[in-house]
């Protein structure tokens, strides 16, 4: 008996959101999407019951913009377990260790059930060290609710249960959006989190906000001359108060991503039986989208997560080759320092005096981050294309099944696949590497609201694709025959 036969009774019984029967009207899709978004914001504002307020460290830290959720809330783990489970499945699928054929309906059910089971397991494995190890989410010593008094251990169990429930909820919220709404839940949650940080970082007149120094000038608390002399100019351009470079970087990333999304190679298509029916298959420069970047950053987040847990248990007895940590609990040397991403200008501009490490250490860290993001972006882009049926063979079958063909070539799947192989693999690698390079560059210069380069890239690209999907839904709503042609019924 293989693993599929042994696991089938469990995997096929995993709770699932029912697929809609027939066409879902566009307005109803928008209603479901808006409802899930409101629920997401509601859950991020519910603080964990029993937590010791103001003493919790966010293990995800700088990765929070990418992994969504909210620190010390029910959605503490965000989409982290979903992304980690996707990494595991992509690696297993890429090595052909699962033995699942995604074209087989039975294997599709097993794959979806296995993914959900992995997400649930990852949620538990992520929540356990947060609550029970290292004091990352310290629990109160006692708590009285409804006449019952909970001791410290019981409060920890209560907090773990809340985080676990939140992780399962976000899994099914994502599924609701994917089946009944517009786009994907993961993309929606990333847009929500990044947008909130961008707006807050731009308008808040407090330290860390873009208007902070301008607010001090307007209220007479700072003289204009102090901003153009000494450290004032640096503060204005790069510091938390001015952030002019961060603003320019943010705007430039917006422009680059929108432009890159419009750069494409369009392969002409014609209908084999309907004369005059023509179309084009676009192979975009960012063909795999920027979503594989979530997988790369999640892998880095998990490495840093393990480093924090190890340090919380070993303390100063931790081997220096693995990592040395500063008073704030962040790595300042060793493996975990060199594998930590560059989060902001303060992480690499050693000549400003803000960086404690030597120049050569900083350069190694930049080199590792660049290598990780560029090569990792290309590799995960390839995995993404193959597992989401965007590769040359799957695309050729889709074109063939739609009755279309490439003018001047025989109507044959193998012929179409060979034409697609001229473009898709190369564009996938180039696009994945380019997105990784952009993410590191944006992090090095900083972004408004400290959303990180990856978070900003994801938000802009997902918003652009969401706009395209909404436009497509509206077109199909106006022309019902288009739904049948594209198999949307």
Tell me the mean pLDDT in the region 126-135. 83
Tell me the mean pLDDT in the region 138-151. 85
- Taking a C-beta distance cutoff of 8 angstroms, is the pair 38, 31 a contact? no
Tell me the C-alpha distance between 474 and 489, whole Å: 14
Q: pLDDT band at residue 107, thresholds of 50, 70 and 90?
A: confident
Percentage of the chain with pLDDT > 90? 23
Task: State the Rg of the chain over Cα.
Answer: 25
Cα angle, residue 9 at apex, residues 166 and 94 outer, rounded to 5°: 75
Tell me the mean pLDDT in the region 371-375. 93
Tell me the mean pLDDT in the region 457-481. 78
Using alpha carbons, list the distances in angstroms from residue 49 to 58, 77, 150.
Answer: 17, 15, 12
- Taking a C-beta distance cutoff of 8 angstroms, is the pair 446, 245 a contact? yes
Q: pLDDT band at residue 196, thresholds of 50, 70 and 90?
A: confident
Write the pLDDT tens digit of every residue in 15-59: 889 988 877 888 899 999 999 999 999 999 999 998 887 666 677
Parallel, antiparallel, or unpaired for β 264-271 and 278-284? antiparallel
- In three-state secondary structure terms, 115 is helix
Q: Which token pair is 327?
A: 């008073």
Write the pLDDT tens digit of every residue in 386-428: 877 788 888 888 888 877 778 877 778 888 888 889 889 999 9
Cα angle, residue 79 at apex, residues 76 and 81 outer, rounded to 5°: 90
Q: Which token pair is 345?
A: 């200008």
Residue 375: predicted pLDDT: 93
Name the phi and psi angles at 266, rounded to 5: -105, 115
Report the phi/psi class of residue 315: left, alpha or beta, with left for phi > 0 and alpha for psi in -120 to 50: left
Tell me the C-alpha distance between 273 and 405, whole Å: 10
Q: Which token pair is 179?
A: 């089946």
Write the pLDDT tens digit of every residue in 265-280: 888 888 766 666 677 8
Name the phi and psi angles at 148, rounded to 5: -105, 135
DSSP letter (8 states) at residue 281: E
pLDDT tops 70 at residue 232: no
pLDDT tops 60 at residue 385: yes
Tell me the mean pLDDT in the region 368-376. 93
**More confident: 228 or 278:** 278
DSSP H helical ranges for 95-145: 105-132
Parallel, antiparallel, or unpaired for β 324-325 and 331-333? antiparallel
Residue 229: predicted pLDDT: 56
């Amino acid at each position: 008996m293989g693993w599929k036969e042994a696991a089938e009774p469990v995997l096929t019984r995993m709770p699932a959101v029912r697929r809609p029967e027939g066409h879902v009207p566009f307005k109803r899709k928008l209603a479901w999407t808006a409802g899930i978004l409101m629920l997401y914001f509601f859950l991020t504002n519910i603080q964990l019951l029993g937590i010791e307020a103001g003493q919790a460290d966010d293990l995800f830290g700088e990765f929070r913009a990418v992994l969504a959720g909210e620190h010390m809330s029910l959605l503490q783990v965000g989409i982290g377990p979903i992304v980690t489970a996707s990494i595991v499945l992509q690696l297993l699928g890429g090595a052909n260790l699962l033995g699942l054929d995604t074209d087989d309906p039975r294997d599709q059910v097993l794959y979806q059930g296995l993914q959900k089971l992995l997400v649930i397991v990852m949620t538990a494995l992520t929540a356990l060290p947060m609550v029970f190890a290292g004091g990352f989410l310290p629990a109160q010593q006692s708590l009285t609710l409804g006449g019952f008094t909970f001791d410290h251990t019981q409060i920890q169990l209560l907090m773990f249960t809340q985080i676990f429930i939140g992780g399962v909820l976000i899994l099914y919220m994502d599924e609701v959006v994917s089946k009944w709404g517009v786009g994907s839940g993961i993309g929606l949650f990333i847009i929500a989190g990044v947008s909130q940080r961008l707006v807050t970082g731009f308008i808040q007149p407090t330290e860390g906000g873009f208007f902070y120094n301008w607010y001090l000038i307007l209220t007479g608390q700072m003289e204009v001359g102090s901003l153009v002399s000494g450290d004032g100019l640096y503060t204005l351009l790069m510091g938390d108060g001015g952030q002019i470079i961060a603003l320019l970087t943010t705007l430039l990333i917006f422009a680059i991503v929108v432009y890159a999304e419009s750069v494409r190679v369009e392969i002409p298509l014609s209908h084999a039986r309907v004369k005059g029916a023509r179309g084009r298959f676009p192979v975009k420069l960012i063909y795999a989208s920027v979503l594989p970047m979530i997988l790369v950053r999640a892998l880095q987040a998990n490495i840093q997560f393990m480093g924090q847990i190890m340090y919380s248990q070993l303390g100063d007895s931790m081997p220096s080759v693995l990592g040395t940590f500063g008073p704030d609990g962040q790595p300042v040397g060793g493996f975990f320092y060199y594998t930590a991403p560059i989060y902001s200008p303060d992480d690499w501009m050693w000549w400003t005096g803000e960086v404690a490490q030597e120049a050569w250490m900083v350069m190694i860290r930049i080199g590792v981050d660049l290598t990780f993001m560029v090569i990792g972006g290309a590799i995960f882009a390839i995995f993404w294309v193959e597992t989401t049926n965007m590769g040359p063979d799957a695309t050729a079958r889709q074109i063939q099944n739609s009755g279309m063909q490439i003018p001047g070539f025989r109507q044959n799947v193998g012929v179409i696949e060979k034409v697609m192989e001229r473009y898709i693999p190369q564009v996938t690698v180039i696009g994945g590497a380019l997105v990784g390079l952009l993410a590191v560059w944006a992090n090095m210069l900083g972004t408004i609201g400290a959303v990180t380069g990856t978070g900003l890239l994801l938000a802009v690209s997902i918003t652009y694709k969401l706009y395209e999907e909404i436009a497509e839904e509206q077109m199909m709503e106006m022309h019902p025959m288009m739904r049948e042609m594209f198999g949307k019924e």
